[in-house]
Amino acid sequence: MIVRALFLVLMCFTPIWAVAQNGPLRIEITEGVIEPLPVAIPDLVPEGGATGDWGQRIARVVAEDLTGTGLFREIPSSAFISQVSSFAAPVQYADWKAINAQALVAGAVSVNGNQISVKFRLYDVFSGAELGEGLQLAGTTDAWRRIAHKMADVVYSRITGETGYFDSRVVFVSETGPKDSRRKRLAVMDYDGANIQYLTGSEDIVLAPRFSATGDRVLYTSYETGFPRIYVLDVGSVQRRVLESQQGTMSFAPRFAPNGQTVVYSLTQGANTDIWSMNIGSGQSQRLTSTPAIETAPSFSPDGSQIVFESDRSGTQQLYVMPAGGGEARRISFGEGRYGTPVWSPRGDLIAFTKQSKGRFHIGVMRTDGSEERLLTASFLDEGPTWSPNGRVIMFARETQGAAGRSTLYSVDISGRNLRPVRTPDGGSDPSWGPLQR
């Protein structure tokens, strides 16, 4: 397994005419953008004898990141009046205004051996000023996509006021083969499907990998022993170990607490499934629920104080919130249908879930008290939401109907807009979106 050595330096270089201002160039995500903001992203200018198409490749990834949000629209280079031929030359605002580019991302790239360095500026065309300061990013050439993602994160962040999410990874289950003998293996990839790496083979069924808050470890369920058991895997070394192996039980649905030390999961004994927590260091475990109902799919609040989970103690699957140490749970879902797989948003404001109603599946969000429920998707089978690190986008799996049914990863805005498939080489399910990388 390849561990990519990677150094990213994010530094401000001395801006020549940096204007610290908050111009009118602004997207309010919460208002639900209908009209995407037009942006020009010319190829980065090669500097210091840089060869190859680095400038173009980086500009393309930045453009895909930004337009992929649905918040930006790229102005094709064929419409450009002036070209950016030198990073130092003054920007011809009139030329960009004329083609209605509201934002301009201009940069330069230099390559030295396996080192690549990028500098760029973001311009607010209609204000005729730079938005924020120029930035420089450096790393190894094999990390060039990360540099592009970081550039796009800066642009996104300056225009929306939100943290970006492009320089992040997703761990998921890669699926091949027909429905009745599907082969599953754990895989990790960039959020956009690039740089896929497999973490396990496909000999045993593996389910529902979950990143730790720092993205260094993954919890998952494997049938390696013939019985479902939870494992922890180190992403760097790909070393794994079983966490729960009580004879005569099954364990599944693990998830990390924000502290990375506590794990919550479901343990089945006989017919009964309860939620347990375990200290991953000592291996000491504690039962958190004790009804004869099915209690599963626990997920921590970002401050680690509460757990949202699903239970059928009322007769159908519904969502409940309890203190992290167990104790009295309050039901938060009251709409029509069944609710499962709740996941607390990283901002703490919302809970995403899977809802089944009238033979359809939905991904939805609600406030943490259960109010303001909104369904974002509808299909034959949508399931298993996971949050982007900034809490603005949800990724999930959609399975198609019938004998040729196939599972594919999709993402959707929490506004319900911009539903799009995530490119993976094979089928995909059970995504878990990791943190923004450092």
Partner 1 sequence: MKMKSSIVMICAALSLAACTDPARFGGGADGTDPSANTGGVVPGSASDPASPAYFQQAVGDRVLFAVDQSTLTAEGRATLDGQAVWLLQNADYTAVIEGHADEQGTREYNLALGARRADAARAYLVSQGVQARRLQVVSFGKERPIEVCSEEACYAKNRRAVTVLAGGLTS
Residues that bind partner 1 in the complex, under the rule CB under 8 A = 178-182, 205, 207-208, 224-228, 248, 250, 252-253, 266, 268, 270-271, 273, 294, 296-297, 310, 312, 317, 340-341, 354, 356, 359, 380-381, 383-384, 399, 401-403, 405, 430
What is the rounded distance in angstroms from the CA atom of residue 397 to the CA atom of residue 427?
A: 9
**Residues 257 and 278 sit within 8 Å (Cβ to Cβ):** no
Instruction: Give the nearest distance from C-beta 223 to partner 1 in angstroms.
Output: 8
Residue with Cβ nearer partner 1 (245 or 286): 245
What is the rounded distance in angstroms from the CA atom of residue 74 to the CA atom of residue 264?
A: 44
Instruction: Give the nearest distance from C-beta 141 to partner 1 in angstroms.
Output: 40
What is the rounded distance in angstroms from the CA atom of residue 386 to the CA atom of residue 113?
A: 38
Instruction: Give the nearest distance from C-beta 107 to partner 1 in angstroms.
Output: 43
Judged by phi (left if over 0) then psi (alpha if -120 to 50, else beta), residue 319 lies in beta
Residue with Cβ nearer partner 1 (47 or 430): 430
Instruction: Give the nearest distance from C-beta 402 to partner 1 in angstroms.
Output: 5
SS3 3: coil
What is the rounded distance in angstroms from the CA atom of residue 217 to the CA atom of residue 210?
A: 8
The first and second tokens of residue 157, run together, are: 């962040």
Instruction: Give the nearest distance from C-beta 270 to partner 1 in angstroms.
Output: 5
Instruction: Give the nearest distance from C-beta 68 to partner 1 in angstroms.
Output: 27
Residue with Cβ nearer partner 1 (139 or 385): 385
Amino acid letter, 191: Y
| Interacting residues of 7 by C-beta distance below 8 A, sequence separation 6+ | 138, 139, 140, 143
Residue with Cβ nearer partner 1 (273 or 377): 273
Residue with Cβ nearer partner 1 (117 or 424): 424
Helices (H), 219-339: none
Phi/psi at 260 (5° precision)? 75, 0
Query: How far from 202 is each of 100, 138, 205, 429, CA to CA, in Å?
Result: 51, 37, 7, 14
Nearest to 102 by CA among 78, 73, 135: 73
Residue with Cβ nearer partner 1 (377 or 390): 377
- The DSSP symbol for 150 reads H
What is the rounded distance in angstroms from the CA atom of residue 358 to the CA atom of residue 378?
A: 11
Residue with Cβ nearer partner 1 (310 or 413): 310
Instruction: Give the nearest distance from C-beta 369 to partner 1 in angstroms.
Output: 22
Instruction: Give the nearest distance from C-beta 404 to partner 1 in angstroms.
Output: 8
Torsion sign over Cα 113, 216, 58, 164 = negative
Residue with Cβ nearer partner 1 (149 or 338): 338
